[in-house]
Structure 1
Amino acid sequence: MRQLESVSDRILAHFEPVSLLLTSDSYLDVLRKMLKESKTSKSHGEADEKNIDAIISILIERRTYFEQRKPHIISLVGLRELERFIHTGMVGRLDLPEDIYSQRVKAARHEVIKLADLMESEPLDIQIGIIDEAMPSSSFQVLSGPSHSVMVTSPFRLGEMPNVYNGIGTVTYAPEAVKKHEDLMIRLWRKAHKGREGADLLRKLLKDIC
């Protein structure tokens, strides 16, 4: 993903709860904590710590490439997925102390506020659409550049209850697969809440979930 994003001029993205590329500067710090929390009793201590550090390092590189190159990104976000994200908070497991859980709910709300602010400001290189209906169950991106169009699916989650270990992602340059996912994005984009309308919808969601 990192290599493809670094050479792409356009990105069509659907990730739950939101694309990493559109998160706040504090997101990865909280994600590191979530990954540590999600470790099982069979985890391998220092080796797992190194794996987490390596994952965060790669994600930092992805964010850096995106901020430097500023490709055009069109991101679709499910309203129900964001609702669950706010209720659950940025947690790696559900049995956290109440004070930590409260902090993580605030962290999730911060990300939704960031998303609303982006939608309202409408930067030239970022378009975000909020979908108020069922979204595809798998995350994917269609990445395009001067010499490529490629579709990438990912079973991994970087939101609440993250999963970065178990699953198999796919990468295909097959024109039919790329076109089907592009067509899906176009169809969903037409019915999405965008700009100030979408921002107002997110702020209402935050207000309703006190």
Structure 2
Amino acid sequence: MGFRYDEIGDRLKAFRLGSALSADEIARRIGISRTALYRLEKGELVKLETLEKLSDLLEVSVPTLLGVGIEWIPSAVSYFERTRQVEEKAEQIVVLAGPISFLLASDRFEQSLEMVLNESIPEDASDRARALADIGQIMELLRERKRVYRQRNPGIVNLISAMDIERFLRNGFIGRTFLPEKVLAERRALARAEVEHFASVIEDEPMGVQIGLVTGTLPHTGFQIFRQPDRKILTISPFRLGEQPNIRLGVAMLTSAPEALALHERSVKEMWRTALKGRAASEYLRELLASNGRSAR
């Protein structure tokens, strides 16, 4: 089989970013220059011996670096970088990630997200320093994703869960529990503003954006399907950015396996068939907002 060296380079970069090792340190430890490492990340032909050294150092299998089979991704930084790379070539993106899809989220959500991510890291977490450092990288990657999305305007199909939205409104945009009541009130206001934003997006019907509100049960693990000109790519991830986010624990995966894609596309088709759309979806969200407002009084 032929390998796409540009994509091997993409994977090397993603796993390097997720490793917490500097480019200088990686280059030194495998015996090449930093410039040579960057050339590999740009898609230059890589020797198997060098790839094996990188595999050991970055703690990722050679098949994953080569793109053979399923690509396993244990780092949120690596996952969001791989998502960014794949997204840049996609003509359409199918998103199941609740309660809020970052690409369609408001600028206010983005501005609050870093605070909530920092808040989500437990004080006694053994990897707290590393996780806090990762947040800066994740935010940079997310901002770049949104910039490119707005520039390219690929089609997007976003399935969101009514139950996730209701919980988001009730709990607020929080990174952990047991926050002071004053803070909770502020976070619930942030959540309300974001749900109002999504209701407005649905009502405005922007070109290429399709939003379906699913009132039944949805899978707890989010996934995305990226439809590129020559293939489709599926990502499944435990990492989430909404209410009570997770950027520390879990393993994401990326694959172009036909069976996996067919099964997930079948799920998307069924969820889309029963989802509320257009005016029905926006009215449902506004009723949730009104109901939540009444219960809060």
Change (3 A) 1:45 1:75: closer
Deviation at 1:138, TM superposition (A): 1.1
> Which residue identity is paired with 1:92?
G
Select 1:203's aligned residue among 286, 289, 294. Answer: 286
Change (3 A) 1:40 1:69: same
The aligned counterpart of 1:19 is 101
In 1: Cα distance, 2:90 partner to 2:137 partner: 23
Q: Does 1:158 align with 2:241?
A: yes
Deviation at 1:41, TM superposition (A): 2.2
Q: Does 1:123 align with 2:123?
A: no
**Normalising by the residue count of structure 2, what TM-score does the alignment of the two structures yield?**
0.68
> Which residue identity is paired with 2:92?
R
Question: Mind listing any 5+ residue stretches in structure 1 that lack a counterpart?
Answer: none
Q: Does 1:63 align with 2:146?
A: yes
Deviation at 1:50, TM superposition (A): 2.6
> Which residue identity is paired with 2:147?
T
Deviations 1:127-156 (A, max 9, x none): 000011001121000101112201100101
> Which residue identity is paired with 2:111?
D
Select 1:132's aligned residue among 215, 222, 226. Answer: 215
What is the number of residues matched between the two proteins?
Answer: 210
Q: Does 1:32 align with 2:109?
A: no
In 2: Cα distance, 1:47 partner to 1:189 partner: 39
In 2: Cα distance, 1:49 partner to 1:131 partner: 34
Which SS does the other structure have where 1:68 is aligned?
helix
Single out whichever of 45-54 and 164-173 deviates more from structure 2: 45-54
Single out whichever of 54-63 and 36-45 deviates more from structure 2: 36-45
Deviation at 1:45, TM superposition (A): 6.7
The aligned counterpart of 1:79 is 162
The aligned counterpart of 1:169 is 252
Taking CA–CA contacts closer than 8 Å with sequence separation of 6 or more, which of the two structures ends up with the larger relative contact order?
1
The aligned counterpart of 1:113 is 196
Deviation at 1:124, TM superposition (A): 1.7
In 2: Cα distance, 1:32 partner to 1:24 partner: 14
In 2: Cα distance, 1:21 partner to 1:145 partner: 18
* Same amino acid, percent of matched pairs: 36
In 2: Cα distance, 1:166 partner to 1:72 partner: 30
The aligned counterpart of 1:6 is 88
The aligned counterpart of 2:273 is 190
Deviations 1:36-91 (A, max 9, x none): 11222235676544321111111111111111111100111110110001111111
Runs (4+) of structure 1 exceeding 4 A deviation are: 43-48
> Which structure has more strand as a fraction of its residues?
1
Deviation at 1:176, TM superposition (A): 1.3
In 1: Cα distance, 2:100 partner to 2:223 partner: 12
Which SS does the other structure have where 1:115 is aligned?
helix
Deviations 1:94-141 (A, max 9, x none): 222222111110111111111111111111210000011001121000
In 2: Cα distance, 1:89 partner to 1:15 partner: 17
> Which residue identity is paired with 1:7?
K
> Which structure has more helix as a fraction of its residues?
2
Question: Mind listing any 5+ residue stretches in structure 2 that lack a counterpart?
Answer: 1-82
Single out whichever of 35-44 and 150-159 deviates more from structure 2: 35-44
Change (3 A) 1:45 1:140: closer
